[in-house]
Amino acid sequence: MIWGQSPGLNCIFFLSQVISIVVVQSFGEIYRLHFTVFPDTLLGTVLFFGLLFLWMGMKNVLLIRRRKVIEMLQSSHNGTDVIPLPKQLGRWAAACAAISTVVLGMMVSLLDCISIYPHVFFRILMISFLAAGFLAATVCFWFAGKRRKEGSRPLFVMTICGMTEGLLLLSSYRVFETLAGQGMAPEIYVMAPPVCAFLLLVFSMIALFGNLTWFLSKVIRKPSSAYYHNLFLVGQIKSRMGSSSKTMGIIACVLAVSLVLFAYLPVLAVRIEAYQRVLSVFDVQVGTMYPAVESAFPSGTLDYDAITEYLEQGGYPVTGKAQGELYLLEPEYPEPGGRDLPALAVTLSVYNELRALSGLAPIGLAADEYGVTWDNEALESDIRNLTQKVRTIQAGTAKLSKAEGADYQDPVGISLFTCQMASVYIIPDDAAQGLRTATTFYSANTARPLSYEFARKFEQEMGDYQRNLGNFPSESAFVRLNTLQNNEGISTMLMLSLIGAYAALVLLISSFTMLSVQQLTDAIEQKRRFGIIGKLGVEPEEINRNIRQQMYFWFGLPVLTALISSAGVLAYLIWSSYRTIVAYISLAQIGFIFAGVYIVFLLILGCYFTATYISVCASVLQ
């Protein structure tokens, strides 16, 4: 075991080994720690950074030699100049004005077709009014810049209108989705409003920091006690906010993005991995998809015996299997795009075979009764609505009534739900006589899991064989193997989790480093001010208190904004995809992941804050 000579290199080696352990053990393999340094790689790295350091040093020396002392003294004060708000945010405001124009046009185009829904009409009217208000405030902000005014009031109006407009657009996601589903709005209304909303909210967050100097001058003013008690602190903050408000807003946005990545991608990874397990509950699944056009219906079934024989010849005896068809209940098939696909039915014996594969006891139905099996994403409200809406069904010549409590949400794999069908009817075997076949499927468990190499071979060869039978279109066939899907699920989970953690940590460290460097730079510039108040009789403890309060403001404000914003974004993401998330990961698990992420975030913040505070105090009081 060879260790690097640098603590930084040792830390990198340790982290790489930790990641290797996580990746390898996720696939069920054993991994042993080992640390190795390749001399050629180490030498190349040292040479590269050494030459880079030497080149930058020589460049800086030549630059300093060419500058006059008076120019360097004047340049030292450039960072403290107050930059007018129109100059800081002019381009951002113009871009968001264009976004509000698009939103206004989209809302106005809906007013005629949704006037029959009063509550939706009022919501659209409010969004239109806010978009128009944002545009009017943008015009005033532009004129303020032309007249060399601060533009705080129109920017404040833009902040309020943009934030409210963005929140209303996000909360109306389900409304736009419903309107698009009913054909009352184009499909662009599903994706465009959330994107516009996020852009408006980002601008509003940055604009909020641009208004801080104005807020402070309005809230803390003479002759209030707060003004005199915090005179030095307020002066320090005002002197910096005029030039760094946009930077602070961007840092807050970056922190919020890092928290969302850090928290949501692991949730998404767990959801995808659980989704793969639910759909691949059996070792082998072969079948056809429910076609969207009548001409693609199968004319025959899979060669079930060939699948069983192939598995057994490969050394994987079948311990249980279920094979059969799904049937079309309605005799007439609708035209493409005419309405939803007709409901399908599975016979009771085939469904019991699927239950047996999952280790469940068989169910029973009377000759004139039916049941319903639901996919994993169905909610209790969906089950109640269908029970209230559908009392009887017609299966060929048989009229069937709903059996009492005959709703099932069992682990039966992908075979019954191949075209976003939420439910499939379970009917007696005799009732399926004369019904048209819609899909055909085969599910089985084997005595031992398929090896990865055999699974890849089976997927290719058996898929080609079944497609060449000519009983169904080749594009409708699928082969789903537990071995391959587990590997895919684990790979996806690791990729999302590691990418999310890496990207979030890079953004977090970059943002906190910028805040820390900003405070250390200010400490150098403000050392003279702190020295003056020290000579006036201010105790070192009071100076430390002023430093802490100043750091509470510079660290606390973007962090608090990021915490609130990220919590809102995460709540929206969970709410907008609630059905597809809670079916595979519980709210308790989501809360545990979120809590862990925010605890790590606060720990990193505490480390940076403490180190920066100690450095600033040492710099000011030395």
228 — pLDDT class (breaks 50, 70, 90)? very low
Check: CB of residue 507 under 8 Å from CB of residue 261.
yes
Nearest to 601 by CA among 577, 575, 567, 550: 567
Rounded to 10 degrees, the C-alpha dihedral 97/103/104/109 comes to 150
Q: What's the rounded Cα separation, in Å, for the pair 205 and 252?
A: 8
Question: pLDDT digits over 333-390, tens only?
Answer: 544 433 456 788 999 999 999 999 988 999 998 888 999 998 888 888 888 888 788 8
What is the amino acid identity at position 543?
I
φ, ψ of residue 437 in degrees (nearest 5)? -75, 130
Cα angle 571, 419, 445 (rounded to 5 degrees) comes to 100
pLDDT at 9: 47
Q: What is the pLDDT of residue 338?
A: 39
Highest mean pLDDT out of 63-77, 299-313, 536-550? 299-313
> Could you tell me which of 616, 598, 619, 9 has the C-alpha nearest to residue 266?
598
- Give residue 61's pLDDT band: very low, low, confident or very high (50, 70, 90): confident
Question: Comparing 59-68, 138-147, 301-310, 468-477, which segment has the lowest mean pLDDT?
Answer: 59-68
**Cβ-contact 497, 273 below 8 angstroms:** no
Report residue 38: phi and psi, to 5°. -90, 120
Distance CA 145, CA 151 (A): 7
Give the DSSP H or E segment for 330: none
Distance, in Å, from the CA atom of 7 to the CA atom of 14, rounded to the nearest integer, reads 10
Asked whether the beta carbons of 200 and 235 are under 8 A apart, the reply is: no
User: What's the mean pLDDT in 265-273?
Assistant: 82
Does position 78 have pLDDT exceeding 90, yes or no?
Answer: no
Query: What are the backbone angles phi and psi of residue 401, rounded to the nearest 5°?
Result: -110, 155
| Phi/psi of residue 438, nearest 5 degrees | -105, -40
More confident position, 456 or 522: 456
pLDDT, tens only, 238-249: 556 555 677 788
> Is 0.75 surpassed by the pTM of this model?
no
In whole angstroms, give the CA distance from residue 127 to residue 110. 12
Average pLDDT of the residues in 600-608: 90
**Better-predicted residue by pLDDT, 543 or 27:** 543
Q: What gap in Å lies between CA 290 and CA 409, rounded to an integer?
A: 20
CA dist list (Å): 30 to 22, 33, 204: 10, 10, 50
- H helix intervals, 225-347: 225-229, 231-279, 304-313
The one-character DSSP state at 372 is: E
- Band the pLDDT of 518: cuts 50, 70, 90: confident
Q: Identify the residue with better confidence: 74 or 107.
A: 107
pLDDT of residue 309: 93
Q: For residue 489, is it left (φ>0), alpha (ψ between -120 and 50) or beta?
A: alpha
Residue of higher predicted confidence among 278 and 14: 278
The helix or strand, by DSSP H or E, that contains position 285, with its residue range, turns out to be: strand 284-288
In tens, the pLDDT along 300-338 reads: 889 999 999 999 999 999 999 999 999 988 765 544 433
pLDDT tens per residue, range 101-133: 998 888 888 876 666 666 777 888 888 899 999
Tell me which residue of 409, 342, 340 sits closest to 371, measured CA to CA: 409
Q: Where is average pLDDT lowest: 38-52, 249-263, 530-544?
A: 530-544
**In Å, how far from its chain's centre is CA 464?**
37
- 60: Cβ contacts below 8 Å, ≥ 6 apart: none
Average pLDDT estimate for 228-245: 57
Residue 247's pLDDT is what?
A: 78
Interacting residues of 437 by C-beta distance below 8 A, sequence separation 6+: 297, 298, 301, 325, 326, 327, 328
What would the pLDDT profile of 184-202 be if each residue is shown by its tens digit?
778 788 888 888 888 888 8
**DSSP summary character for residue 117:** -
Model pLDDT for residues 437-462, shown as the tens digit of each residue: 889 999 999 999 999 899 999 999 99
Reading phi first (left if > 0) and then psi (alpha if -120 to 50, else beta), residue 28 is in: left
One-character DSSP codes across 497-531: HHHHHHHHHHHHHHHHHHHHHHHHHHHHHHHHHHH
- Mean of per-residue pLDDT scores for the chain: 79
Alpha-helix runs per DSSP H in 469-481: none
Give the pLDDT confidence score for residue 334 in this predicted structure.
Answer: 46
Phi, psi of 326 (to 5 degrees): -105, 145
d(CA 212, CA 214) in angstroms, rounded, equals 5
Distance CA 272, CA 428 (A): 35
Q: Would you give the DSSP letter of residue 332?
A: S
